[in-house]
Structure 1
Amino acid sequence: MRIRFFIILLLGLVLLSCDEESKVEKEIAEIDVNFDVERFDKAFAEAEPKDLPKIKGAYPFFFISDPDAFWIEKMNDSLQNELLAEVQRKFPDLDASKKELKGLFQHLNYYDKTFKAPRVITLTNDVDYRNKTFVNDSLVLIALDNYLGADHEFYQNIPMYIASNMEGNQIVSDVANDYAIKYMFQSNRRTLLDEMIYFGKLLYFKDVMIPFKTDADKIGYTEAQIKWAEANESQIWSYFIEKELLYSTNNKLPSRFIADAPFSKFGLELDNDSPGRLGQYIGWQIVRAYAENTGKDVMKIMQTEPEEIFTKSNFKPKK
């Protein structure tokens, strides 16, 4: 009888929590945010040298350091023109991305009342995949040539584990990540645990700000990879504990478990089956547990130190 009572109580709490989340999401959906997605890439692709003064007037911040001759040469460069043509072919419009960006901006406004919708501009950056997006208080830049699709011919010399995230569905996730870094504070990133929780906070920020995206999209895994991580969570955690890695300052650990890589490096048979960045994944689960246990606001969590998050999370991996 007592067990039945606790099951009913637990179900009631779950339903109440879901109802509260639904109420918050309805409030967020009512927030009015106005912005346009400005296509600098398209304007530049269609421009002739005589149009340069007009483009400079509209986007002066792109023309601070290079002389006009540089931009005119770029207009006439065949490789640049091919790149721009591929971007226009892949992205004749950005309706889907604009809808997702609107959702992100609404959530940001709900949790940060000072937030104002930025100016959003698309461009190309010679496939500099380390700088796909840029965010500041008033501006969001999106380099569309980094989102042409994993198997695009322009990405032939890029490792597949990186190219796999060069897809249009990653745009809002990358922008959200830039905002997460903007709100982040953490005094130490010395130990593996520090690094795990740093990236765990970035991923939890996405949980809150882009809840309409899947977990796989948030972390940049395939569906198979996220399922592998979920299924092996306990095994991964046991390895970290048994090898006493959490408080280690060994500078090789981030490259094994945090950095982009084709797989995580346990030195076990399971390595080749594993996705990279499993330290980030476990850090994410720790921060989720902390948020659930404490009920802390996401913005406060972004400012909370790793030791407090770990200690109060009472994290236990999925079996």
Structure 2
Amino acid sequence: MKNIGALAVILAIIFFQSCGQKEDSCSLNSEILDQDLDVEILRLEKEFFEAKNAEDFEFLLEKYPEFTKNYLQADLYQSMDSLVADLVQIHQDSSMRVLNDSVQVEFADFSEVEEELENALKAIKYYFPQFEIPKVYTFVSGFNSDLVVTEDLIVIGLDYFLPASHSFQPDLPRYMADRYEKEYIVPMIVTAISSRFNQTDPKDNTLLAEMIYYGKAYHFTKAILPCTSDQFIIGYTPEQISESFANEEFIWAHFVENELLYETNPFEIRKYMGEAPFTDAISTVAPGRLGRWLGWNIVDDYVFNQEVSLPMLMANPDAEQIFRQSGYRPRPPA
């Protein structure tokens, strides 16, 4: 790869400079909000922790078959009795009960998340009429599962979203754990849902294809949640977003000079797309997943310049076409 050393030195110096980021436009379409659609979030952890014996758990497993199958993964057990036995043991564990008590205090009022999620699902239904509203549950998994999103249900593992100051924390690197706050719940759900509309070319295994895939996912989430800060969509701090825009020309130069867009080596692709505290191929002060962020900018330019609707964007599997027709150029520092 060319000129990495010189570029890294430059970026290490100027990534500490600040710059204004792109403006967020916030408007909730009344036509979307006026749809006759109600979303109720069922707090399943309450029912499960109130269960006293095996018969109570058997009743709950039968009452919520989608949850039993998709979240508790009943098919992995030799019998329903073995699943029930595990649940009894887990929910009688003193640490689990303390964890649940903490969740009940922290999320006693869940109405704000419920309203945000309802509006988001309304927006998805508006743009994609074939979308069926899933059932929505919360649960306390003992940090076994943060979020499950299928066509039939959404399950939010609330223990993952306790504040960073709480004594109970998931076993995750700090740079990832910082994204498990209440404000991230709905954006994470919407981004997960975007995958069912995000058409791709399975034969295209280039870095560009992956950049465009994530760019479409983040654009989808922003379109559905126009009043949500980019911070909660991509998981960068406001400072990281500002600094990335301040250095967009240098980031793009790195991709171009090292001929990365058509790279197919998974190891090389991971350097720019995978979870990491920083993108060290560029700079140790550059945030991780910079390829995803860059892909988002390219997709935004494509939608703006080509006046493409959200359904048209998501249905387009041609990453090369999106890139070429985006007219993408990095913004010069302000």
Superposition RMSD in Å: 2.0
Unaligned residue ranges in structure 2 (runs of 5+): 1-24
Query: 1:307 corresponds to which residue?
Result: 320
**Structure 1 stretches of 5 or more lacking a match?**
1-17
Aligned partner of 1:59 in structure 2 is: 64
Aligned residue number for residue 208 of structure 2: 193
Provide closer, same or farther for how the CA distance between residues 116 and 236 of structure 1 changes in structure 2, counting only shifts above 3 A: same
More helix by percentage: 1
Query: CA distance change for structure 1 residues 137 and 157 in 2, over 3 Å: closer, same or farther?
Result: closer
Q: Does 1:288 align with 2:292?
A: no
Residue 279 of structure 1 is matched in structure 2 by 291
Contact 2:207 2:262 (C-alpha < 8 Å) held by counterparts:
yes
Shift of 1:153: 2.8
Following superposition of structure 1 onto structure 2, how do residues 151-190 of structure 1 map, counting pairs within 5 Å? 151-155=165-169, 157-188=171-202, 189-190=204-205
Give the direction of change, closer, same or farther, for the CA distance of 1:158–1:303 in structure 2 (3 Å limit): same
Q: In structure 1, what residue type is equivalent to 2:311?
A: M
- Residue matched to 2:35: 31
In the superposition, the TM-score normalised over structure 1's length comes to 0.86
Deviation readout 1:17-58 (Å, 9 max, x if unpaired): x8xx96x81221212211211001121122211532432332
Distance of 1:31 and 1:233 partners within structure 2:
40
TM-score normalised by L of structure 2: 0.82
Q: Classify the secondary structure of the residue corresponding to 2:29.
A: helix
Change (3 A) 1:178 1:248: same
Instruction: Give CA deviations for 1:159-189 in whole Å, capped at 9, x if unaligned.
Output: 1111011111111011101111111221145
The size of the alignment, in residue pairs, is 294
Check whether the contact 2:143–2:170 (CA below 8 A) recurs between aligned residues.
Answer: no
1:150 and 1:165 in contact (8 A); partners too: no
Q: Which residue number corresponds to residue 124 of structure 1?
A: 140
- Deviation (angstroms), 1:262: 0.4
Q: Is the 8 A contact 2:49 2:97 kept in 1?
A: yes
CA distance, structure 2, for counterparts of residue 77 and residue 256 of structure 1: 41
Percent of pairs identical after alignment? 32
Question: CA–CA distance in 2 between the matches of 1:244 and 1:79?
Answer: 52
Q: CA deviation at 1:152?
A: 3.2
My pick for the range that moved more, 153-162 or 88-97, is: 153-162
Q: How far apart in 1 are the matches of 2:88 and 2:141?
A: 16
Could you tell me which amino acid in structure 1 is paired with residue 164 of structure 2?
A
| Aligned 1:250-265 pairs, distance under 5 A | 250-265=265-280
Residues 76-106 of structure 1: CA distance to partner in whole angstroms, max 9, x if unpaired? Answer: 1122212222221221121111011011111
> 1:182 & 1:288 partners in 2: Cα distance?
20
Q: Is the 8 A contact 2:162 2:180 kept in 1?
A: yes
Q: Residue 33 of structure 1 contacts residue 106 of structure 1 at CA under 8 Å; is this kept in 2?
A: yes
Q: In structure 2, the residue corresponding to 1:116 is in which secondary structure?
A: coil
For residue 6 of structure 1, what is the aligned residue in structure 2?
none
Give the secondary-structure state (helix, strand or coil) at the position aligned to 1:272: coil
**Residue 316 of structure 1, CA deviation:** 0.6
1:156 Cα deviation (Å)? Answer: 6.8
Partner of 1:103: 119
Q: Distance in 2 between matches of 1:115 and 1:198?
A: 20
Higher relative contact order, structure no. (Cα contacts within 8 Å, ≥ 6 residues apart): 2
Which residue identity lines up with residue 87 of structure 2 in the other structure? W
For residue 136 of structure 1, report the CA deviation from its aligned partner. Answer: 2.5
